[in-house]
Structures are given as structure tokens and as C-alpha cells.
Structure 1
């Protein structure tokens, strides 16, 4: 109730919950101030672990205050209140990429290409500004009513120039994480993002995951093998080549985001 009282006083009317974590939830809301529907992420600092409150949350807020790109979710305002709650008011989307894929089973290449290009454009902007996401996955790619991409959830984001500046934090989702992260070795976070893009593209055009992640300890061994496509897959040669390039086992063989933009399938 306290949430509603605080937000109502600021011209927001809370609606349904569209996402929930262990110490945060995302609610839809109507806004008088912005004259539109918004999404409000409510973070409860009192329920969150210390390293999240002291390290990851400040990083996320610092990043969200600096990023401005058409394909990255726009934050309207941050509201801090004395009861430990933080409200992040963002533009709302109608669905996310995972829900979209589940609805249509897989996305046709002629539709996947412009959507994937927008994702790559957003990541190029981030890397150009020495920002890494480290949790790129279909659920974190929001879509507007006209299929415009909005990347969200910078909970594991940080400022990083990439190689030779390496990261050590195991973060993100195993299914989208590259072998070096799963193996627990220091890694180039920009190459982490590139691998995740390869997984996203595979899921978009096939409707299934490229690697079986039921046993995470065996995942790097599986990732080393040649990619397999469903028998009924109609994915074109250039698209398969693009995915293969992104999912190079060795990070040194993986392209930079600038090189991803040059892939023939994206031209």
C-alpha cells in the first residue's frame, strides 16, 4: 500500500505486476506526468544482499543515468524514499523477445534481421561507451507494439574497456554465458556480450536453445562441439554463418561488436 501512496502522490497509478525477482518487482503504471503507460521497477534494498546494494545496484543506476539510445529502455526518473525502496520509472513495452518467440515458435529471417540489427546497434553503442551488459538474453530484449527493440535490465552491467581489462564476476544466465565465464576464468566482458548475441540469434530463428543447459558443469564441453540445427530448420547459410562466428568457443576468435555489424547476413 505504501508503494501506491508514494507513487499516487507523484501522478502514477499502479497496475499489474509484469516481472518479479527476489527483491524487486516491475509493475505497469499509468502516468499523468508522462501522459503514457510506464513500467516501474520497485527495488527493496532491505531484502537485497549486501553486495547487490553496495556494488551492483549503484553500477546499474550510474549506467542508466548515462545511456541514451533508441534501442535501450529509457528511464524517466528515479524516486528514492526513506523506507529503503527505490522506484525506477521507465518506458513500457508490450512484450519481450522470449514471449514473442513462444507465440510464433520462431521468427522468420526477414523479420529477425531488422530486430537483431537493433539489438546489435544498442550493444555497439554500449561498447563504444565502454559499457558492458553481461546479461543479454531474450527476456531482457523488450519489444514495443511495432517491434522496436528496447534492451533492459542492467543489473550486471558495468563500465569496462574490455581486453586487456578483464572481469572475474560470474554473472548472467548460464544458457547465454560463454565457456570462459562458465569455466570461471577471467574474461573479456565485451566478448561475453557477443557470445550472448549468438545465442539470442539462434533462439530467434530456430525457437530453441543452441546448447542443452540442464547440466551447467557439462555445458562448456557441449559448447565446443559443432552447432546442431533442428531437422526442420529453414535457417539460411548466411544466417548460420553469422551465428557460427558469434559462437566461437575461443573469445580471441570471436568478433568485436564492430565486426558483428559487418557480417554479410546483416547487410
Structure 2
């Protein structure tokens, strides 16, 4: 459904949400090409002093054009909004693939790692250092090829500046020298993050993972980690030399390309020719931000605030996996519905669902505070929250995914599922979590007749 139009683009549904705006599906009416449109609110950007950072991100993406980097098509502006038009990637995050399937087989992990190294190396040749490489920022296209995204924390220092000083990134993936608050080489720091990603691809868990940040930083600084038994000797050797806490002796990308494990089946991506229009031009960006064009914006006021994914009747039937949906809404013993089933590979899985009539942002923020108070790390993206921490089993990892769906104008359903870890860990987590979010759970008023769920017609 088309919600409004911006210039030559017809804008549709929300497909993502960031700190300063939404990401919309859009279509170029001249070419028919599908694109992702990042819609940023000008007043929000100014209020948070983020204009310079967004200009840097845009100028960086104008410079970096590679088969394994999400492409920036163009940037438009109106009086109230900035529109960043990006390549539309349909395969989701690499992180979701790992969460869904666990560890990858060695050939798949190697192929993704090869594509990651190609994309990162190209960025470095352009003087761009990503500084927040992690599976959440690696997307997959319809053919399963990797695309590096989210250059919001990237650095593109001027010529002659050899060291960076800003401490940024996600702690589990950050190089030890970045955490020391001293100058660091952006290329070497990105290589460390690539090594952590390779470990995660092969292990299905992080090499450095502690709830306490002091303990986490200590392990990263000493490169204190162990390999699962299924790692091949070639993978072990490569990762061990990448995760070297000394950036001077750490492998460089040129060294990685010479590694025998890496070279197996490797076909290097071709770097596209640089066009004049792709060169960095901060003057044009400044003009774009300060003197916007009067773009056609039909229907934007009707868009409203983005919310959780709205489930229709078919979605509910699929999500219920054959269960009687009346149990979710009307039977008191099913305020919390625990479903035990089978996942791929025969492993037992757990889902838990409950219904709320609180606003979606209240439900999300409450769940985040509760999970963090229980000692878990949280990561939120588009009304989906990942909760993770150590498992009771020594050396293991626990992860749960909590997602909010809208099933009626005033009803939300929260779906909780175990993504990694032991089933006993999940049940222990949810029992404690449930007691702390009980105020969110909707209960029908006492004495009110309970409507029956409609039955599907028999064929």
C-alpha cells in the first residue's frame, strides 16, 4: 500500500526503525526499482546535535560503492525531513540467520567471511573505517550475498591523520586498543571485529561474553577465549592470529588473503570504477541540509507513528501453529501460554506469549528495563528485543527473542522464544521475567462473558 510520495518515489510500509527515524519500503516510479528510504526528522536531528554525524555517514556512503556494501542511491530533503535512498536488501540480517540456525557450517561461514573482508578492504582503500562491524550490521541480499550496512559510527579522517581516538562500537566486537582510550588504527580495529564475527559464525556464540563489563574488557584485553571442539585447525589458526591483542602483530587484510583456510574457494569481488559523482562533497551535503528543495510529499501527514507489525487473520493462524487462539485471549490459565515444540534439528524449543493493552513503546521499554535489571544484555530493533547472557551451563550462552505484534487496535501480543541455550535456562528466565512484567499483562474484567474464537470452516 502506498502511503505517500516523495519526488519520484512511492513510499510504502515501514520496514525498520532507527534512533532518528524510520526506514520505509519505496519504489522508483521511473525505473520500477525497489529501494529502502531512511526518513529522518530535521528537528530531531538538530535537537540531538546529530547533523554533522549524519552528513559524515552520507558522505562516507557516497564514497564507498562495492558489491558487498549497501549502496546509497541519493539523498533528498524537504522542509521537515531528510530522505536517504538506499539499496533494498531482502534477506535480513546475518544475525537473524545465526540466531535462527545456530552455528553455520564451515563453507558458509568462510564464504560470508570472504565477502566481509572484500567489503571492509574496499572501505579501507577509500579511507573509511566502519568501527561497528557485527552480524546485526551485515545484511543478506536475495542471493545470500553479504552487504555491509550502518556507517553511522564510521570514520573518514582527512589525509595525514593516522590514528583515531573515539571509543565506539559494540563492546563484544571492539578491539582491545579501542577500549584503552588511546589512539588506534582504524584498519586494525576493523580486522579484529571481523575475527570476532568469524568466530560467531562458526561457534554460534561470542568469544568474549560477560555480563560485567570490567570482566568483559579484561578478557578482550588478554584475548582470553577458547575454541569449540568442532573448529578445524585452519579456522583456529586464522582466528587466533586475527584476535591478537597487539595491533602491531595482528594480521592485516593482505595477510588474511594469503591464509590457506581463507583462500579455499575464494573468488575476489571486483571493485567498481569510481565515478565523479561518488566523490566526497561536503559542500553539497551542507547545502542539502540547510537549503532543502520543496519536494512533493503527498499523504505524509496520514502516515502516523510506526508501530509493531500488524497481524492479520492468516498471520495469527500461522503463528498459532494450529492452537486454538481463544486460549490466548479468553482462558485465565492462558494469560501466559507456554508452547513446547520442535525446532530444526530435533532440538526442543519454547515459545511463550501474552497479551497486553499497554502502548507498544511502554511494553518495550518496560521489558528492556526488567531484562537489564536481571543482569541480561538487550538489543532492540523495530519492536523486537534480543535478551542474552551466560547460561547456567559453564561456558554456554543463553539468548531469547521478544517481539511485539499488534493483533487488534488496542491489543498487543508479546511473543517470547528461546534462541540459544538450554531449555531449563529459558524456563528459569521466563518465570522470573513474568513476575516482573505482570502489570503489562491484560486480563478480562471479572464477570464479563468471554466470546468464543470463530471457527474456521471445514473443507
Fold shared by both chains (TM-score > 0.5): yes
| Structure 1 length-normalised TM | 0.89
1:82 equivalent to 2:51? Answer: no
* Change in CA separation of 1:163 and 1:66 when aligned onto 2, cut-off 3 Å: closer
| Secondary structure of the corresponding residue to residue 189 of structure 2 | helix
| Structure 2 length-normalised TM | 0.53
Aligned pairs for 1:93-132 within 5 A: 93=89, 94-132=91-129
Q: Deviations over 1:82-136 (max 9, x none)?
A: 11x2111111112111011112111111111111101100111111222111111
| Secondary structure of the corresponding residue to residue 115 of structure 2 | helix
1:92 equivalent to 2:88? Answer: yes
1:259 equivalent to 2:258? Answer: no
Aligned residues of 1:30 and 1:36 also touching (Cα < 8 A): yes
Instruction: Provide the residue aligned with 1:205 in structure 2.
Output: 202
Superposed displacement of residue 219, structure 1? 2.1
* Change in CA separation of 1:45 and 1:176 when aligned onto 2, cut-off 3 Å: farther
Distance in 2 (CA, whole Å) between partners of 1:158 and 1:34 is: 33
1:156 equivalent to 2:146? Answer: no
Segments of structure 1 that go 5 or more residues without pairing to the other structure are: none
More helix by share: 1
Superposed displacement of residue 187, structure 1? 1.1
Q: Tell me whether 210-219 or 154-163 shows the greater mean CA deviation.
A: 154-163
Distance in 2 (CA, whole Å) between partners of 1:253 and 1:88 is: 39
Aligned residues of 1:115 and 1:147 also touching (Cα < 8 A): no
* Change in CA separation of 1:244 and 1:98 when aligned onto 2, cut-off 3 Å: same
Distance in 2 (CA, whole Å) between partners of 1:219 and 1:105 is: 23
Distance in 1 (CA, whole Å) between partners of 2:74 and 2:19 is: 23
Aligned residues of 1:227 and 1:244 also touching (Cα < 8 A): no
Aligned pairs for 1:131-146 within 5 A: 131-146=128-143
Instruction: Provide the residue aligned with 1:14 in structure 2.
Output: 12
Aligned residues of 1:162 and 1:189 also touching (Cα < 8 A): no
Aligned pairs for 1:170-249 within 5 A: 170-223=167-220, 224-230=222-228, 233-249=229-245
Aligned residues of 2:128 and 2:156 also touching (Cα < 8 A): yes
Aligned length: 259
* Change in CA separation of 1:160 and 1:191 when aligned onto 2, cut-off 3 Å: farther
RMSD, aligned CA: 2.1
Aligned residues of 1:167 and 1:189 also touching (Cα < 8 A): yes
State the 4+ residue runs in structure 1 displaced beyond 4 angstroms. 161-164
Aligned residues of 1:38 and 1:89 also touching (Cα < 8 A): yes
